[in-house]
């Protein structure tokens, strides 16, 4: 595992991303609450695991329960597509509900639309699902080697799912070209020059996760987190949550670690270059953490991760596999959490960070000790059930022998 600490984090100097303010988050939450399928996802305290690892508390926000989609991604897409449709109707999202946007009246006004996107699976499944709710079509492009179950899950919603010959970043390019050629609306969870509004809505939609966590901590009388571990693909989810917290705590938020797979560590790489710009990593981006297999940072997320994160971590695949096994076989008294490759990497990371002597310097720099309460977001369940069982049952991707 490789670490970079962000010595430049300065709560007073960095400008807050006001578009991720608590008010903006409440707007997204109100719209999401107007969906009949909306329900708060569980926040699970793993007290025995915390004792075993050597911290005061571990809390896992389990997004595998979100909207029946086995991942958090529906939060972003509902809010983004809701806004897109409102724009076409000339209304604002605060004045409407998800159910109205699904109605035959709106469907008639809009005519036929096609939404398209590129995805590792979870975002595309959410686009397909929301498009269907609105009675519209979706065409979803996936990178080569995408797991069969993730492709099927998209097709089951009636969308077209096309597995390309490309990695994730090149698949995004293809989706852009197809959208321009066919007059389709692209709904991408990353931004580029001239394309920021939809990715901003997507990120605003994700902030519901921490809005709910705040309420749950109060109701369950849990201790406030001192640390959060956020996994990054293009960095949208991590940037959204960190941006929300930066606003809420005015930059004096809990210690934040951003974690990525070794072969797709574009946020880590950008931090290591250190010129304040986002930098792409190239290659096949091969990793079991399919949701994190992205080579090009989301630029609107990167600036938040650059200014407000405390550390960037790059991990081998066995760290995620260890996290999956730890969550699947809980200590007595703790609850089981079904967590996929991209969901579990943070827990694997914490366990190694707390136990390996070589990380003692990082631990003390990040103030990770017996008083720490660490929050994790389980961003997906077993979205690739075949690989899930190979890892959890058969021990695939074991820890290297020391
Ligand atoms: C399960 C899961 N976790 C985390 C992420 C990372 O999100 P982002 O690409 O916004 O960084 C993704 C992205 O697809 C994902 O599917």
Phi-psi domain of 167 (left: phi exceeds 0; alpha: psi -120 through 50; beta: other)? beta
- Alpha-carbon distance of 206 to 197, in angstroms, equals 15
Contact between 146 and 293 under an 8 Å Cβ cutoff? The reply is: no
Rounded Cα distance, 21 and 77, in Å: 19
**CA atoms 81, 86, 92, 96: torsion sign:** negative
Name which residue sits closest to atom 14 of ligand 1, judged by CA.
Answer: 291
Looking at residue 102, what is its pLDDT?
95
231 Ramachandran zone, left/alpha/beta (phi>0; psi -120 to 50): beta
Q: Give me the pLDDT at residue 7, please.
A: 85
DSSP state of 375: E
Say how many Å lie between the CA of residue 295 and the centre of ligand 1: 13
Edge-first strand listing for the sheet containing 311-315: 2-5, 311-315, 255-261, 227-231, 373-378, 57-62, 43-45
pLDDT of residue 335: 98
**Which of 342, 346, 382 to mutate to test ligand 1, by most ligand atoms within 8 A of the CB atom?**
342
∠ Cα 330 241 12 (to 5°) = 125
Dist. CA 380 → ligand 1 center (Å): 9
Q: Which atom of ligand 1 is the closest one to the Cα of 63?
A: 1
- Say if ligand 1 is within 6 A of residue 239 CB: no
Catalytic, 73? Answer: yes
Helices (H), strands (E): how many in the chain? 17, 11
Residue in 62, 120, 310, 317 annotated catalytic: 120
Contact 9, 308 (CB under 8 A): yes
For 97-164, the DSSP string reads -HHHHTSHHHHHHH---EEEEE-SSHHHHHHHHHHHHTT-EEEEEE-TT--HHHHHHHHTTT-EEEE-
Degrees to nearest 5, angle at CA 149 with 146 and 151: 55
Q: Rounded to an integer, what is the distance from CA 111 to the centroid of its chain?
A: 32
Which pLDDT value is given to residue 10?
75
Distance between CA atoms of residues 180 and 174, nearest Å: 10
Chain CA centroid to CA 132, Å: 22
**How far is Cα 397 from Cα 351, in angstroms, rounded to an integer?**
16
Probe residue for ligand 1, chosen from 237, 301, 337, 387 as the CB with the greatest number of ligand atoms within 8 Å: 237
Q: Are 318 and 289 in contact (CB under 8 A)?
A: no
Which atom of ligand 1 is least distant from the CA of 294?
9
SS3 of residue 36 by DSSP: coil
DSSP type of residue 192: B
Of 44, 56, 55, give the one whose Cα is nearest residue 334. Answer: 44
Q: What distance in Å separates the CA atoms of residue 169 and residue 225, rounded to the nearest whole number?
A: 34
Residue 370 alpha carbon to ligand 1 centre in Å: 30
Instruction: Evaluate: CB of 292 within 6 angstroms of ligand 1.
Output: yes
Distance 363 CA to ligand 1 centre (A): 26
| Options 61, 73, 310, 384, the catalytic residue | 73
Compute mean pLDDT per 10 residues along the chain, 402 residues long, and list them: 89 87 98 96 98 98 97 98 98 97 96 96 96 97 95 95 96 97 97 97 98 97 96 98 96 95 98 96 94 97 97 98 98 98 98 96 97 98 97 97 78
- Domains of the chain, each with CATH number or no CATH: 2-71+203-392 (3.40.50.1100), 74-202 (3.40.50.1100)
Instruction: State the pLDDT at residue 216.
Output: 98
pLDDT for res 379? 98
End-to-end CA distance of the chain: 14
Rounded Cα distance, 87 and 81, in Å: 10
Q: State the distance from the centre of ligand 1 to the C-alpha of 233, rounded, in angstroms.
A: 5
């Amino acid at each position: 595992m490789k670490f970079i600490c962000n010595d430049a984090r300065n709560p007073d100097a960095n400008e807050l991303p006001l578009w991720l303010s608590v008010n903006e988050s409440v707007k997204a939450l109100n719209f999401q609450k107007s969906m009949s399928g909306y329900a708060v996802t569980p926040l699970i305290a793993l007290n025995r695991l915390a004792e075993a690892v050597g911290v005061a508390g571990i809390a896992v926000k389990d997004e595998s329960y979100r909207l029946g989609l086995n991942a958090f991604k529906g939060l972003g897409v509902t809010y983004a597509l809701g806004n897109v449709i409102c724009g076409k109707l000339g209304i604002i999202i605060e004045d409407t509900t998800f159910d109205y946007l699904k109605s035959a009246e709106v469907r008639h006004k809009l005519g036929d639309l096609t939404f398209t996107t590129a995805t590792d699976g979870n975002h595309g499944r959410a686009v397909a699902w929301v498009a269907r709710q609105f009675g519209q079509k979706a065409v979803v492009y996936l990178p080569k080697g995408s797991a069969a179950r993730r492709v099927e899950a998209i097709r089951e919603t009636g969308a077209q799912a096309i597995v390309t010959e490309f990695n994730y970043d090149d698949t995004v390019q293809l989706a852009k070209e197809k959208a321009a050629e066919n007059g389709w609306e692209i709904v991408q969870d990353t931004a580029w020059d001239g394309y920021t509004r939809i990715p901003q809505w997507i990120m605003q939609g994700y902030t519901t996760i921490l809005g709910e966590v705040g309420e749950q901590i109060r109701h369950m009388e849990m201790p406030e987190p001192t640390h959060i571990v956020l996994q990054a693909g293009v960095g949208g989810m991590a940037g959204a949550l960190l941006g929300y917290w930066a606003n809420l705590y005015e930059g004096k938020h809990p210690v934040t670690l951003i974690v990525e797979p070794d072969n797709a560590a574009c946020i880590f790489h950008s931090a290591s270059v250190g010129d304040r710009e986002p930098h792409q990593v190239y290659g096949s981006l091969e990793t079991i953490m399919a949701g994190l297999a992205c080579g090009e940072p989301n630029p609107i997320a990167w600036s938040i991760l650059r200014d407000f994160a405390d550390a960037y971590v790059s991990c081998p695949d066995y760290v995620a596999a260890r996290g999956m096994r730890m969550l699947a076989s809980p200590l007595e008294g703790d609850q089981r959490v079904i967590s996929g490759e991209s969901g579990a990497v943070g827990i694997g990371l914490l366990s190694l960070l707390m136990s390996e002597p070589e990380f003692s310097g990082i631990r003390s720099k990040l103030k990770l000790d017996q008083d720490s309460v660490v929050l994790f977001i389980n961003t997906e369940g077993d979205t690739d059930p075949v690989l899930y069982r190979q890892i959890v049952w058969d021990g695939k991707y074991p820890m290297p022998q020391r």
